[in-house]
Structure 1
Amino acid sequence: MKNFLLIILAAVVGGFAALGGAQYLGLNQDTRYVEVQAPPASSMTNFAAPSNTVNVNPAPTAGFATAADKALPAVVHIKASKQAPGFGSRGAQGIDPDRLPDAFRDLFGIPEGGGQGGSPAPLQQGSGSGVIISPDGYIATNNHVVDGAETLEVVLNDQKTYDAEVIGVDPTTDIALIKIDAVNLPTVQFADSDKLKIGEWVVAVGNPFSLTSTVTAGIVSAKGRSIDIVRRSGGEMAIESFIQTDAVVNPGNSGGALVDINGDLVGINTAISSPTGVFAGYSFAVPSAIVKKVVQDLREFGIVQRGLLGARIMELNTAFAQEKGIDRDNGVYVSEVTEGSAAEEAGLMNGDVITGVDGVTTLRNSELLEQLGRHRPGDVVNIEFERNGKQKTATARLRNANGDTGIIRPEPEPESISKLGAEFVELDEGTASKLDLKSGVTVADIRSGIISEQTRIRPGFIITKVNGRQVSSVSGFQKMIDGSNGTVSLEGIYPDSPDRTMKYGIVK
């Protein structure tokens, strides 16, 4: 019995010792919420004294709420109905209905007549965002949100729904301007994106995955960023000088607002950098300074007025500088000056290194293109550059694509093309090479007209021949249509089915 009591006593003492050790080591402590008093400022000798300047980037909690309250009413949900991928002129099973015997058409829900006025191919609905920029219904969004859309529906933050029309698009910046028939709408105010600093808080507002009126926040991670995504559709004229942020942006956010802590627009959310197609850390927005200029041009002229310097440029780096014998590691190298251009008139020469425009440092291609992209033909800019190690300046009067300083107006479509009810663009070199095509024109958009009424042609179709003759360009295609009477044969392919040549007949 005495031994048993000694064992019990030893166990109790051991337990208390263990608990005491755990407390001493900080183990097994309950979670507690305690109020901690801050030490006097005078004792914090390792920290610099606070500045007397106003904090332009306040504590985010209240700022996020303010930004969301101001921006949410002006951000809309855009539903764009487009041709479903893979349908082209084929049915849902990838079968060309025009090649099916009549007896089998009903099995696929295809009425007799197939490609000539048959049932329309199914559409898919894409989701994007837009920003109301004027009370009378003008909305800024991305070109890729509305590109190829057959119908556009805009849903406001208060759930009112409107049909929208496209006023103009600019593939070189991926910005588009659309309009709804409404008045007294809430708008967002433009902020100066030039004043935005790396590290500042920003808020993204949009409709990711159709989750309407979603707000996320992050900081500005970088400015003047180029990721070579707009160049795929905008070509060599593309301007990429994105604001990079870590605010969460996903499919459906495209065209939505990136606002500062005050709720003013600093950019249009456009792209994400992701191996999976969803947010993986960084998103990219077109700066408001570019957006404002582009939408003003589209509203006033229907087309963007680009002020061009007229020089081929390359971004300088250490290796390239050593190759060219240049004693600097950054800047924009002028590899070629176009004859009769603004650059030639200003006295720029091959081998010059451009370092600034109008006092703004431009050490990267994206920064230079952004500054020039804010100007119209006829505008005068001051170019800072280096030649043979010496700093110089020049004054350049920018020109348009025609080589003069006039305003470029959209060319009216020939009546014959207008009646077709479609938009045709040049076949880009990448697609031509991939599909092993010498030439052709791409059907970019289809409206009401002969093609929609008489054929099953859908956006994306590449017309390679008209009446058996090779199509070389859009202008050549127009001449062929103008010179044709009666029944016209259109021959071509869909990129998703390059081995199958399709033929359609239309009657003008």
Structure 2
Amino acid sequence: MYPVASAPAHPFARFRRSARTVAAAILIASSSVAMPAYAKGPESLADLAEKVDDAVVNISASTTVEARPGNRAGPQLPPGTPFEDLFEEFFNKRGGRGGNEQRGESENPRQQRKSSSLGSGFIIDASGIVVTNNHVIGDANDIQVILHDGTKLKAEIIGKDSKIDLAVLRVKPTAERPLKAVPFGDSDKMRAGDWVIAIGNPFGLGGSVSAGIVSARGRNIESGPYDNYLQTDAAINKGNSGGPLFNMDGEVIGINTAILSPTGGSVGIGFAVPSSSAKPVIDQLREFGEVRRGWLGVRIQNVDDATAEALGLKGGAKGALVAGVDEKGPAKTSGLEVGDVIVKFNGTPVKASSDLPRIVASTPVGQKVDVVVVRKGEESTKSVTLGRLEDSDKPQLANLRQPEPENATRQALGLNLSGLTDELRRKYNIKDGVKGVVVTRVDPNSTAADKRIQPGEVIVEVGQEAVNTPADVTKRVEALRKDARKSVLLLVASATGDVRFVAIGLD
């Protein structure tokens, strides 16, 4: 139980009477002036909350492990991730042997640590299917679902997914206490400004209702490869994780997952996994106990305005630029190449590179899809049969590293360039399979430095043509200038062979 302090006296209490007098005078003076009409929210949310609150549950997840030096029990978040500061779950940690302190030592004492987390969840099937966040249960070995009336039911894990941060549990309802479920709604129909309510277990208080609006859609908070959050100003605090975000029809359109807060409490910026992203994952967890995501087998990067101009993309920056193709992936066998810009996948436009992993992952494994690409200014369609994304197969973006100046010979685009020699390969640890022109120095005031090209990287192509010598680079750059091109597109390889595209202005 948390202590509740009495409210302090208002510092401006002595001014209240005069303030009321002034307010009354202002009201009278303005009574003849037409006041603007403002949007009015619902008069009460009580009926809606009463309709759905029996389906919202508290989740108690406990982990007991043998204590070792440096071993922290319980659900953990990787240090340094956005979620470490963005949303820390409400934890209650206890030491001792299984939570019971005993005096004296046995001949072979086995110290144990117990960690408990309190979160929220909701019932989606009256047979006993419960949804919550993966980070609420972590690696817990004892999970209890606590119903609205206080009934406790032991839960088992059907499946969980760390990439979307979801978990599906099963409980056995009793004849005396049948369960009530809530349906999913369509989050894609929600607009910024639509009313929503959140119900959950903030700070372990249980059954709390808060209201607000959808503040934004499609938020990327860089917590994972498939970020697509709904943002809301409904109060969400520690312990709300895994709880539902409802529309005004009592349908779940989001699963509350994170908050952005410098104080540790709600500041009106909360994030929920939209139902459109959550439902396919939940369906697979229920059917397979795991998520089976589609896999294309490409490494991608963003397309900025300079890159779009260099590639001759009509309509400006859009799509996902292929910076690498897995030799064993579906993209390779379907003819996708480095330098292709994927602008449409399976009929869905790819507006930015961050869209592609999410679209591909949600497409069934083994499905044959059309991929529309732009190659050297021309649009074409490739047919690809998707593979399955394994845990080790992560959507990748090209690596960007800081430049380190160094002496060299020929110059172009603010770069000192040299042909690849055995000495330079040893100096920069460049793999034998990497071919092109090595960068030996970067002008710190150049655009190349701004784009983070660094010594030891290798220019493989200039304007989508292979180069083998510094002279090839300068000739190609001059040719593009004569063609009145505003920028040149470089294909740059790291020492290990990973490549990325860099567009540099020719002004």
Matches within 5 A, 1:143-222: 143-182=134-173, 184-222=178-216
1:161 CA displacement: 0.8
Deviation at 1:175, TM superposition (A): 0.8
Q: Does 1:396 align with 2:388?
A: no
Please say if residues 67 and 259 of structure 1, whose CA atoms lie closer than 8 Å, have aligned partners that are also in contact: no
Match in the other structure for 1:468:
none
Q: 1:71 to 1:82 in 2, by over 3 A?
A: same
Q: Distance in 1 between matches of 2:229 and 2:249?
A: 20
Return the offset for 1:380.
3.4
Conserved 8 A contact 1:66-1:263: no
Partner SS, residue 216 of structure 1: strand
Q: Report the counterpart of residue 70 of structure 1 in structure 2.
A: 51
TM-score, normalised with respect to structure 2: 0.59
Give the Cα–Cα distance (whole angstroms) in 2 for the partners of residues 352 and 71 of structure 1: 49
8 Å CA contact 2:159–2:289 kept in 1: the answer is yes
1:63 CA drift (Å): 7.4
Determine helix, strand or coil for the equivalent of 1:61: coil
Q: Is there any run of 5+ residues in structure 1 with no aligned partner, and where? A: 1-25, 48-57, 98-105, 232-237, 403-407, 409-424, 426-508
TM superposition shift of 1:353? 2.4
* 2:299 counterpart letter in structure 1: R
Structure that is richer in helix per residue: 1
Following superposition, the deviation at residue 84 of structure 1 comes to: 9.1
Correspondence 1:236-255 to 2 at 5 A: 238-255=225-242
Retained in 2: the 8 A contact 1:188–1:265?
yes
Greater shift, 147-156 or 331-340, is seen at 331-340
Partner of 1:370: 358
Q: Distance in 2 between matches of 1:307 and 1:249?
A: 33
Partner-residue secondary structure (3-state), 2:125: coil
**For the residues of structure 2 that align with 1:330 and 1:85, how far apart are their CA atoms?**
52
1:296 pairs with one of 283, 303, 308: 283
User: Could you tell me the TM-score, scaled by structure 1's length?
Assistant: 0.59
- Quote the Cα distance in structure 2 between the aligned partners of 1:394 and 1:38: 68
Pairs within 5 Å for 1:64-463: 64-82=45-63, 109-114=104-109, 118=110, 120-182=111-173, 184-229=178-223, 231=224, 238-318=225-305, 321=308, 328-401=316-389
- Is the contact made by 1:193 and 1:287 (CA closer than 8 Å) also made in structure 2? yes
Compute the displacement of 1:81 (Å).
Answer: 1.4
Q: Which amino acid aligns with 2:59?
A: I
Kindly state the Cα deviation for residue 398 of structure 1 after the two structures are TM-superposed.
1.6
Distance in 1 (alpha carbons) for counterparts of 2:112 and 2:212: 42
Q: Which stretches in structure 2 are left out of the alignment for 5+ residues?
A: 1-18, 74-94, 393-507
Q: CA RMSD in A?
A: 4.0
CA pair 28-134 structure 1, distance change in 2 beyond 3 A:
closer
Task: Give the secondary-structure state (helix, strand or coil) at the position aligned to 1:154.
Answer: strand
Moved more, 179-188 or 145-154: 179-188
Q: Percent identity?
A: 37
Deviations 1:339-371 (A, max 9, x none): 342323444322222334344443234432322
Amino acid at match of 2:155: A
Deviation of 1:121 after TM superposition, in Å, equals 2.1
Which consecutive segments of 4 or more residues in structure 1 shift more than 6 A? 32-39, 84-87, 89-92, 322-325
Give the secondary-structure state (helix, strand or coil) at the position aligned to 2:287: helix
> Radius of gyration: which is bigger?
1
- Alpha-carbon spacing, 1:36–1:63, altered in 2? closer, same or farther (3 Å): farther
Change (3 A) 1:390 1:266: farther
Q: Aligned partners of 1:38 and 1:31: how far apart in 2?
A: 10
Give the 3-state SS of the residue equivalent to 1:355 in structure 2: strand
Which whole-Å deviations, capped at 9, do the CAs of 1:448-469 have from their partners, x for residues lacking one?
Answer: xxxxxxxxxxxxxxxxxxxxxx
Q: CA offsets per residue over residues 18-41 of structure 1, 9 Å max, x none? A: xxxxxxxx99446499899999xx
Q: Which amino acid counterpart does residue 343 of structure 1 have in structure 2?
A: A
Residue 272 of structure 1: CA displacement? 1.1
User: Per-residue deviation at 1:61?
Assistant: 1.3
Number of equivalent positions? 346
Quote how far apart the aligned CAs of 1:159 are: 1.7
Shift of 1:228: 2.2
Cα drift, residue 210 of structure 1: 1.1
